[in-house]
Amino acid sequence: METNAILPVFVALPLIVAAVAALSPWKRFTDALAIIIPAINLVGGIWLYNYTAEHGTISHVIGLYQGGVGISFAADRFSAIMLVTTMIVALSSNWFAIVVGETQARFFTPLTLVLITGVSGALLTADLFNFFVMIEVMLLPSYGLIAMTGTRNRLLSARSFVLVNLLASTMLVMGVGYLYAVTGAVNLAALQGVAAGHGPATVATGIVVIAVAAKAGVFPVHTWLPRTYPSTSAAVMGLFSGLHTKVAVYMLMRIWVIMFDMDPRWNGLIIAVMVVSMIIGGFAGLAETTMRRVLAYQMVNGMPFILIVLAFTNNDARYALAAGLFYALHHMITVGALVLNVGAVEETYGTGTMSKLSGLARRDSLTAAVFVAGAFSIVGFPPFSGIFGKVTIMLAAANTGDWRAWVSITAIIIASFGALLAMMRLWKKVFWGRPMQKYPDDLRIRTSFMLPSAAMMTLSLLMFVFAGNMWDFTTSAVDDLLNVEAYTTAVLGDDAVGIPDPDSYGHVDPAAEAASEATADTEGAK
């Protein structure tokens, strides 16, 4: 068997094991599976990173069809590093679910494994239609996980989650269908540069981008996220924070590099949308009354920090994308840690409402320490990973030396200040103040509840301590992302069929268009 054929295993294994877990009557067995499967995919992702570093991008088509036909999987260091980080979040969230007893629900473990199936498939698929399929594979168990407890509040949240994501999924499949009608292809490698000009292909790709951006929680389609995520359990919110939105970020980066060919004509629009999203995410948390709703807006705040780098790829694409990827990895780890930390508070004291809690810093010092570390990292204070991510993003913006740099850096500073105020307010209300009188003096958060979040915050600290090594990993991953030729060669091979002709879908070369306009102006002057 060729080594490339291992790629579908990342998808098939959790799906098969999910069926086994659904049929198993033994809780300890299913709990073990909830840890073992993401751990296997985690180790597999590390192996995949090292293998692609040595052998380059690899691809496998199910059924061994010719390139451009069939279900294609592809992997490079960019997809591998995202796979590793998502599995860390999944492993930690399932670990937390086990220790707090959330896996008592009959189908919790099978549903999380199906979610992991969709995540793995979305990160490894090489065509847009199968990306849509994998997104739906992610969403189906997510509906169940949100509504699993059956409480009225969670069922209402599930309804909002379902409606928004069904609308986005409908738009996504319409965009993919329109793109296929225009170009005759949905394979990413076959669609190189289709949106870099004007015409129907750009419109179709734009529909796809809007749908994926909605799933990422980017302004103006962001309000569903802070309404629905905090109404789930902490373990489920931890899963969603590191999986749903970051898979969308992954595909937006891939589409920008391959299909848009990093067309600079979209830079202004990208900056405008991301700046507004930053400001809203940074300050909206000041109006919230529960801990996890504050954190939900930090998720909204984090997405534009990652995606704004797309507007600076025409200067130094490698540096800009590496900065965005570093921040994405940091954000997955840090937000996941904060959510699980707050979940430990909720599980112990029965509430996440800030007005009902106070004085936890004296009562639960480990919880307070993990929260402070996470808050420092989110805001961008040393010695945690957030400072390096934000500094590199600002440096990427500064390399332009024009209005984009001034606007973006100003927005980053203002949004970070808003995040600081939101986290300080949460700290003041929950961790500071007088000791609570309504709870027994001996009531403390169990150490087992805190270990998953503490482990993730330790990773955030290590990302700062070994920032140089992490930067090497991210830049190497971005090198593979930018090496579109290697990606297309691996996916399509030497005997690709059904590859569209750019002239057939109204593609316009920006350089040729500019030259034509210059010629017309010259002739007009004569």
C-alpha closest to that of 344 among 101, 91, 38, 116: 101
Q: Mind giving me the DSSP string for 437-463?
A: SSS-TT----HHHHHHHHHHHHHHHHH
Query: Which residues, 6+ apart, have CB-to-CB distance to 263 below 8 Å?
Result: 195, 196, 510
CB 464 within 8 A of CB 384: yes
Is residue 457 assigned to a domain? yes
Is residue 221 assigned to a domain? no
Is residue 95 assigned to a domain? no
Count the alpha carbons within 13 Å of 284 in the hemisphere toward its beta carbon.
21
Is residue 525 assigned to a domain? no
> In whole angstroms, what is the distance from residue 273 CA to residue 268 CA?
9
Is residue 287 assigned to a domain? yes
Is residue 349 assigned to a domain? yes
> In whole angstroms, what is the distance from residue 307 CA to residue 284 CA?
20
Q: CA of 205: how far to CAs of 171, 218, 415, 441, in Å?
A: 11, 17, 30, 59
Q: What is the H or E stretch that residue 73 is in? A: strand 71-75
Tokens 């330790």 — which residue?
458
Instruction: Return per-residue pLDDT of the chain as tens, 526 residues.
Output: 577 888 899 999 999 999 999 998 888 999 999 999 999 999 999 999 999 999 989 988 887 666 666 788 999 999 999 999 999 999 999 999 999 988 888 888 999 999 999 999 999 998 899 999 999 999 888 888 887 765 676 677 677 778 888 888 999 999 999 988 888 888 888 888 888 776 888 898 899 999 999 888 888 777 788 878 888 888 888 888 888 888 999 999 999 999 888 888 888 899 999 999 999 888 888 888 888 889 988 888 888 999 999 999 888 899 999 999 999 999 999 999 999 999 999 888 888 888 888 888 888 889 999 999 999 998 888 888 888 889 999 999 888 878 888 999 999 999 999 989 999 999 888 888 777 777 777 788 888 999 999 999 999 999 999 989 999 999 999 999 999 888 888 888 766 666 666 555 555 455 545 555 555 455 555 4
Is residue 443 assigned to a domain? yes
> In whole angstroms, what is the distance from residue 363 CA to residue 244 CA?
34
C-alpha closest to that of 338 among 306, 291, 305, 385: 291
Tokens 């503490």 — which residue?
454
> In whole angstroms, what is the distance from residue 526 CA to residue 520 CA?
10
Beta strand 71-75 with 58-62 is antiparallel
Query: Which residues, 6+ apart, have CB-to-CB distance to 75 below 8 Å?
Result: 7, 48, 52, 57, 58, 59, 124
CB 20 within 8 A of CB 33: yes
Q: How many domains does the chain have?
A: 1
CA–chain centroid gap for 41, Å, is: 17
- Domain hosting 453: range is 265-485
CB 276 within 8 A of CB 308: no
> In whole angstroms, what is the distance from residue 12 CA to residue 9 CA?
5
- Beta bridge partners, 127, equal 187
Is residue 4 assigned to a domain? no
